[in-house]
């Protein structure tokens, strides 16, 4: 990890950006108007609305008991991982081969909703598997439709100021239910994201699109956790075994094949996997309390961890609006990536 050369356009880009922009998030105390929101969209700059969703029925009433009574044993898709690392760069360590970094997708498993809640709130040993309901496929309007459509909840079908400003409906509304053991690795999305914290706390680390060269994007082969079918790890024949990483396209993998570009730098371990530019990054940190709303602009890198008391769960709902690919931001972000990759 050498210092970047002077007059290096990439270093200059990051430092110019840092000089002109705060690394502290703007805090609003009421929801913005559509026009105020559009000013943030134009600047591609995050903000948090403290208490912006404090009067939602969900933030006031949803709890483990409430949800258990409401959804009962309805089956839900659960992401299961050994260490809370769904969609995360993970060391793949096959016998008699050198270890390689892969993008580990979770084992996806249907569970009765009550079983998920029981798992999330049980005193699990730290080496036990981690569960996270995080399907990110508009699950609130599909898997969790009863929760969404019930008249007592009045969950908005869109965030009014975002709908007016962006002149579109959300592409997806996602429900996230987990506990302190799950972390979402640093990544970015092509969405304008309004993220609403319902229960527990979420800790976001944010980096703007200009920081591409800091995050050490690599082409990672895809892999998925698969349940060992029989007693290979000491379990008896027929019993379920532990989780095992299987490369995409190999036996048991989901065959999607191909590597995907993914950041391998973790702002919480800034010395590991750093590039010559990582030290220039000024990560923006924000913790959402129940009732807070975050505007997470498109193409921003974000790492998300969570905390809640052991007998509770962390719940969030987020609204994803397709980003606008017209204008200069998208081609310029791609340009930063091409220039950074060319210099590698």
Ligand X SMILES: O=C(O)CCC(=O)C(=O)O
> Considering the complex, what minimum distance in angstroms separates the CB of residue 241 from ligand X?
27
Binding flags for ligand X, 161-190, as an x/- string (CB under 6 A): ---------------x-------x----x-
> Considering the complex, what minimum distance in angstroms separates the CB of residue 89 from ligand X?
15
Tell me the C-alpha distance between 70 and 114, whole Å.
Answer: 10
198 is an interface residue for ligand X by CB under 6 A: no
Residue nearest to ligand X (CB): 184
Partner from a second copy, ligand X, none contacting 61, C-beta within 5 to 8 A by type: none
Q: Name which of 175 and 243 has its Cβ closer to ligand X.
A: 175
Partner from a second copy, ligand X, none contacting 255, C-beta within 5 to 8 A by type: none
Q: Of 92, 195, 295, 301, which one interacts with ligand X (CB under 6 A)? A: 195
> Considering the complex, what minimum distance in angstroms separates the CB of residue 301 from a second copy?
13
> Considering the complex, what minimum distance in angstroms separates the CB of residue 294 from a second copy?
18
Residues that bind a second copy (CB under 8 A): 7, 9-10, 12-13, 16-17, 20-21, 34-35, 38-39, 41-45, 164-165, 167, 208-210, 324-336, 338-339, 342
> Considering the complex, what minimum distance in angstroms separates the CB of residue 161 from a second copy?
10
Binding site for ligand X (CB under 6 A): 176, 184, 189, 193, 195, 202, 302, 304, 316, 318
């Amino acid at each position: 990890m050498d210092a970047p050369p002077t007059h290096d356009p990439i270093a200059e880009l990051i430092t110019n950006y840092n000089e002109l922009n705060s690394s502290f998030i703007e805090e609003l105390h009421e929801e913005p108007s559509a026009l105020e929101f559009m000013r943030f969209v134009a600047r591609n700059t995050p903000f948090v609305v403290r208490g912006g969703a404090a009067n939602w029925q969900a933030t006031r009433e949803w709890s483990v008991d409430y949800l258990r009574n409401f959804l009962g044993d309805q089956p839900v898709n659960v992401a299961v991982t050994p260490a809370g690392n769904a969609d995360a760069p993970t060391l793949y360590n096959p016998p008699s081969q050198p270890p390689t970094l892969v993008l580990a997708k979770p084992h996806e498993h249907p569970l009765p909703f009550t079983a998920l809640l029981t798992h999330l709130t049980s005193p699990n040993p730290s080496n036990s598997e981690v569960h996270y309901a995080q399907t990110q496929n508009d699950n609130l309007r599909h898997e969790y439709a009863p929760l969404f459509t019930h008249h007592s909840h009045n969950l908005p079908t869109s965030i009014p100021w975002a709908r007016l400003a962006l002149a579109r409906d959300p592409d997806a509304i996602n429900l996230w239910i987990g506990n302190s053991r799950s972390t979402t690795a640093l990544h970015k999305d092509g969405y304008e994201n309004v993220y609403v914290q319902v229960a527990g706390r979420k800790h976001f680390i944010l980096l703007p699109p200009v920081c591409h060269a800091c995050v050490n994007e690599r082409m990672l082969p895809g892999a998925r956790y698969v349940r060992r079918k029989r007693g290979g790890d000491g379990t008896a024949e027929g019993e379920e075994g532990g989780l095992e990483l299987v490369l995409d396209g190999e036996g048991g993998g989901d065959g999607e094949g191909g590597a995907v570009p993914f950041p391998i730098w973790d702002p919480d371990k800034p010395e590991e996997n750093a590039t010559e530019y990582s030290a220039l990054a000024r990560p923006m940190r924000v913790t959402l309390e129940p009732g807070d709303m975050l505007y997470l602009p498109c193409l921003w890198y974000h790492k998300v961890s969570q905390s809640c008391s052991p007998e509770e769960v962390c719940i969030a709902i987020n609204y994803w609006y397709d980003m606008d690919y017209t204008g200069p931001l998208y081609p310029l972000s791609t340009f930063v990536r091409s220039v950074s990759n060319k210099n590698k």
